[in-house]
Amino acid sequence: MNESYDVIVLGTGLKECVLSGLLATKGKKVLHLDRNEYYGGETASLNLTNLWKKFRPGQTPPKQYGHNRDWNVDLIPKFIMADGKLVKMLLHTKVTKYLEWKCVDASFVCQQQAAGWISQAKMAVCKVPANDMEALKSNLMGLFEKKRLINLYKYVQNVDVNDQKTWNNMDIMKQPMSDIFKHYNLEENTIDFLGHAVALHFSEEYLHMPAIDTILKMQLYLQSVGRYGDSCFLYPIYGLGGLPEGFSRLCAIHGGTFMLNAKVEEVLFGDDGKVTGVKCDGETATAPIVICDPSYTSQDRLKPAGKVIRAICLLNHPIPDTNDAASVQIILPAKQLNRNTGKSS
């Protein structure tokens, strides 16, 4: 431990493990520490024992939940775009050989639908159409709206950022996305699921931003469909915690040193204010670069940018209207839930 390194990394979150793995492959001497007994940090996938230890310390998981090893609960659940940059990085670094993957069965969106001229509108869970054929079968919209959506999909697929002839006489670098939707005369509900369930925006701000960003996000969605299965999303079978663990193995193979259950006491700084290393279990490791999870540094060096509320729900039944799919993503657009925050879940 009392050694000098090129880089010290604190925390085994995905970003920290990606960096330690890539630095090690470039010949850097890396020391990677984590206070926890598992990989992943705030993005870990916990078994029942660790889940109860984190949120209900001193209690034992109920026996009816089965074997400990059958559970991998993500603290920050996310699905991975099949044609996204992360998948390309995993393939390039060959970290995929440390993981088993599943194609997520489907993506759904909540939308209010009229139940009749007398009864009130009801909330429905509908599959997000990912191509022309699914758009024709979708119950999200009427027949004429389906045709308009198909025309938009064709336009998005044909857009080439470097060829203005494919922009259809619109300046996608300057015009807002609302102009594109208006050009194709799309209804408000259709715009809602395109913005939040296809482009995966969190708020309505994208409508007033240059269209190029949303078009690229929609292109990624459409290109990811069918890449490795019927859905555009992939997921590691044993949870997202497998991703940082995979990059940790990459780092170790190239000479990196890993320590879990490491009690990092302090990040050390020199008289000039520059970082010099860390103190752990009474010993000191030095390095000119320290990359860390924010929780490892003093609070006066942190600037909160916002807060996120998350909940973990263990269901004992399939989710209605999802055809009993084993794995799904459900988008809840803020407007559909009559929320005023402008944020989607």
Mean pLDDT, range 130-143, rounded to an integer = 76
Helix intervals (H) in the chain: 14-25, 48-55, 85-93, 132-137, 143-158, 177-183, 188-193, 211-224, 242-253
Residues 157 and 278 in one domain: no
Domain carrying residue 164: 104-232+322-337
Mean pLDDT, range 265-271, rounded to an integer = 91
pLDDT in tens, 214-264: 999 999 999 998 888 778 899 999 999 999 999 999 999 999 998 999 999
Q: How many structural domains does the chain have?
A: 2
- Tell me, what's the pLDDT at 342? 54
Query: Could you tell me if residue 310 is inside a domain?
Result: no
CATH number at residue 183: 1.10.405.10
Residues 32 and 168 in one domain: no
| pTM over cut 0.85 | no
Helix %, strand %, coil % for the chain, to 5? 35, 20, 45
Q: Which residue, among 187, 39, 193, has the nearest Cα to 109 in the 3D structure?
A: 193
Residues 155 and 23 in one domain: no
| Angle separating helix axes 211-224 and 143-158, nearest 10 degrees | 100
Query: Could you tell me if residue 40 is inside a domain?
Result: yes
Q: What does the mean pLDDT of the chain come to? A: 87
Question: Which has more confidence, 311 or 123?
Answer: 311
CATH number at residue 87: 3.50.50.60
- Tell me, what's the pLDDT at 344? 59
- Tell me, what's the pLDDT at 88? 92
Pairing of strands 101-103, 233-236: antiparallel
pLDDT in tens, 45-80: 999 999 999 899 999 998 888 888 889 999 988 899
Residues 279 and 137 in one domain: no
Query: Could you tell me if residue 2 is inside a domain?
Result: no
Question: Which pLDDT band holds residue 119 (cuts at 50, 70, 90)?
Answer: very low
Q: Residues of the chain with pLDDT > 70: what percent?
A: 93
Q: Residues of the chain with pLDDT > 90: what percent?
A: 51
pLDDT in tens, 160-190: 999 999 999 999 999 999 999 999 999 988 8
